Amino acid sequence: MDDYLAISALQHYAYCPRQFALIHIEQAWSENRLTAEGRLLHERVDAGYAEQRRGVRYERGVLLVSHQLGLTGKADLIEVHSPNEGKQESPRYFPVEYKRGRPKIEDWDRIQLCAQALCIEEMRNTQVTEGAIWYWQVRRRKPVIIDAALRQTTLDVIEAARRMLLSGETPPPIDERRRCKACSLAELCNPKAFARDRSVSYVNAIFQESDDPSEDSQE
Amino acid sequence: MKKLLNTLYVTRQESYLHKERETIVIKNGPDKLAQFPALAIGNIFCFGQISVSPFLMGYCAEQGIGLAFYTEYGRFLARVQGKPTGNVLLRRTQYRWADDPDKATDVARLMVAAKIANCRSVLLRDLRNHGENSSLKQAAKKLAVSLRQVQSAHSVETTRGIEGEAANSYFSVFNERLRGSHFRFDGRIRRPPTDPVNALLSFAYSLVTQECVSALLGVGLDPYVGFLHSDRPGRLSLALDLVEEFRASWADRFVLTLINRRQVCPEDFETEAGGAVRLTEKARKELLVAYQERKQTEIMHPYLHEKVPIGLLPHCQAMLLARHVRGDTRYYPPYLVK
Ligand code: SF4
């Protein structure tokens, strides 16, 4: 199980490959405000036990694994919808992921949800066609269709993340202002300082200064 | 950039530190001496008979708060260290580089170059501020020669040789920089220092060294395995490597200011039977306060192009070194005073 990828790592990779490397290769995790908030949120979500309401069972903090994909993780919430009485159907699984922020256009939250769906499919021998992301800041639930395109994107990210993990190498910063600003690892990553390698000219300048002829002419 | 958090220097003998909810409490007997929010503390340095609750030790280790113990006179005894941070791959590369003559020279050369350049910068600054002085000028010229030599140094041994020569040139004029004072400096004497100026220098170096140790541990590097300083049991070689960049502009200048502003006087020192000179307790406390103040001074970091307090320089450089070892930069960008 040691080299199984964490499902949560996929969103890191999708957000920024360097962020993924900083967390999962370099293990340089900074417990700053954003992550502390995220953790608190999860503590609240994790705290509950399964409850049953009108044909739906709500299970929280469900452990997930896919041996085929080498993935492990946890789902914040899985709704298990029982089939209507008398019908010969298997229950329908519906994963829900809780996010601190507001809905984003980008894919990274959906990828995480899709990875959960893939795990559920393998573990329960079923099909997961839909899930949802709950955005804390706007208190709204966004449905996510687990379609072929999202599945492919997710598989690609799993593959790319695994390759990076094996290489042990950290890529340079993406230096995309908006994304870096919202990144909880910006302080560790320092995108401004490392987006371009300025060390060559910096180091040359150390030696050039001593060649300053003005000093000798003072004699 | 990381925030500069406060350092607690606990010098009152028989004090006891423990954690109370989210605060750190210092007690002496039944008296509560002080209480600080734990989140505002970056380091706790205990001098002499101070005890710390195991729970607070664990908290410090977990939160990356540096907790270290010294004798009453500032000799390092022990530090509390939790799980190693960072990645073993980084340390492995560090060890490999330390064993690889070319790689080690590459880094060592730049650290020494920065040290020499910084020595020269402070001398030139003194010349600008205090006018003509032919010996300072001469020393600055010699340092420029050393700097050129180190540029083409091809081994760590050569680098060390050049560094030694440069240190001689630099310290040969140190006395000139003590302005009309009651102190004299006749060369660097360590272990133990036998005059006040050397005692001050040793004290300042040991403070900065400990900060380098914390900074290196914080980024996941091993402070014991250096590039310029070779392995020796118990020697904090990489921390000593890093200190080189800060000696002239931070530690030495701090000592010179104390002396030239007459913040220390001969009465602040006592001589032991064996000839070793050390600071009195009162002077040591004042010095720690002044040192802590000095750490707040902001400078523009020459590589990061960011304003940082001097106290964060060890962290900045440890981070730059780790990033270099990880392959983010072609060369290690050492700290240069501007
Ligand atoms: S700061 Fe920017 S480049 Fe660095 S990890 Fe975060 S998103 Fe990626």
pLDDT digits (tens, 9 = 90+) for A119-169: 999 999 899 999 999 888 888 888 999 999 999 999 999 999 999 988 888
pTM: 0.77
Dist CA A88 CA B175 (whole Å) = 95
Substitution candidate for ligand 1 out of A19, A20, A104, A192 with most atoms within 8 A of CB: A19
Q: Which of residues 74-93 of B touch A (CB under 8 A)?
A: 85-87, 89-90
ipTM of the complex: 0.74
Tell me which residue in B151, B302, B329 faces A207 most closely, judged by beta carbons: B151
With CB atoms and an 8 Å threshold, state whether A206 touches B85.
no
Q: Which atom of ligand 1 is nearest to the CA of A183?
A: 6
Question: pLDDT averaged over chain A?
Answer: 81
* Cα-only R_g, chain B: 20
Contacts of B114 in chain A (CB under 8 A): 206
Nearest chain A Cα distance for residue B329, angstroms: 5
Ligand 1 close to Cβ of residue A18 (< 6 A)? yes
Q: Which atom of ligand 1 is nearest to the CA of A189?
A: 4
Distances (CA, A) of B239 to B79, B208, B245, B314: 14, 9, 11, 9
Dist CA A161 CA A4 (whole Å) = 11
With CB atoms and an 8 Å threshold, state whether B331 touches A215.
no
pLDDT the model gives residue B73: 72
Q: Does B147 touch chain A (CB under 8 A)?
A: yes
Angle between helices A199-209 and B101-130 (to 10 degrees): 50
Assign B128 a pLDDT band (cuts: 50, 70, 90).
confident
Amino acid at A83: P
Preceding amide of A143 cis, omega within 30 = no
pLDDT the model gives residue B193: 81
Q: Which atom of ligand 1 is nearest to the CA of A179?
A: 7
